[in-house]
Amino acid sequence: VVPAELWEDCGAGELFRQNFWIGPPGKSSPLHRDPFQNVFVQLRGAKTALLADASLSPQLRLLPAPQDNTSGIDFASFGGDLVRASAVLGLEPGDERICAAQLDAGDALFIPKGLFHFFQGQGTECTAAVNFWFL
């Protein structure tokens, strides 16, 4: 049984869209946020994920509209390293508003609506993933 506090703010639960992502070794996405609940599933290869709370928006140097959901900081330039990301944002080590995760094939990650996230492929093989956006 999933406690109510874990699901009550997850929206209507209606599937909006699913995406299939394939990338070469080292491919990354910029740090950004989506207007949907997101379940991300790594199918092949490995990725590093950085997750940053919306309260960090002022430090993230958001791009102007229409890309105002995307950070202007090149997190890929330091491989999504949590220590370096924290330093770039002026955060103390261990600040809970930013965290990192290693995703291997078969791992899934729930990304709440509005949470900033960055992914970068690791290793020497191509990566594949799927995600599901919910309203």
**Model confidence pLDDT, tens digit, residues 65-93:** 999 999 999 999 988 899 999 999 999 99
Q: Measure the CA–CA gap between 28 and 48, rounded to whole angstroms.
A: 9
Taking alpha carbons only, the member of 3, 11, 55 closest to residue 33 is: 55
Structural domain contains residue 68: yes
Structural domain contains residue 1: no
Cβ proximity of 33 and 114 under 8 Å: yes
Q: What is the pLDDT of residue 134?
A: 85
Structural domain contains residue 2: no
Residues 6+ apart with CB under 8 A from 33: 54, 69, 114, 115, 116, 117
Structural domain contains residue 17: yes
Cβ proximity of 110 and 97 under 8 Å: no
Number of domain units in the chain? 1
For residue 134, the Cα-to-chain-centroid distance in whole angstroms is: 15
Taking alpha carbons only, the member of 125, 120, 127, 37 closest to residue 84 is: 120
Instruction: Give the CATH number for residue 123.
Output: 2.60.120.650
**Model confidence pLDDT, tens digit, residues 14-68:** 777 899 999 999 999 999 999 999 999 999 999 999 999 999 999 999 999 999 9
Rounded-to-10 torsion of CA 105, 89, 95, 43: -10
Structural domain contains residue 36: yes
DSSP string, 85-125: HHHHTTPPTT-TTEEEEEEETT-EEEE-TT-EEEEEEESSS
Per the model's pLDDT, the better-predicted residue between 67 and 6 turns out to be 67
pLDDT at residue 2 above 70?
Answer: no
**Model confidence pLDDT, tens digit, residues 77-135:** 988 899 999 999 999 999 999 999 999 999 999 999 999 999 999 999 999 999 999 87
Q: What is the pLDDT of residue 79?
A: 85
Question: Where in the sequence is the domain holding 94, given as residue range(s)?
Answer: 7-134
Structural domain contains residue 63: yes
pLDDT at residue 7 above 70?
Answer: no
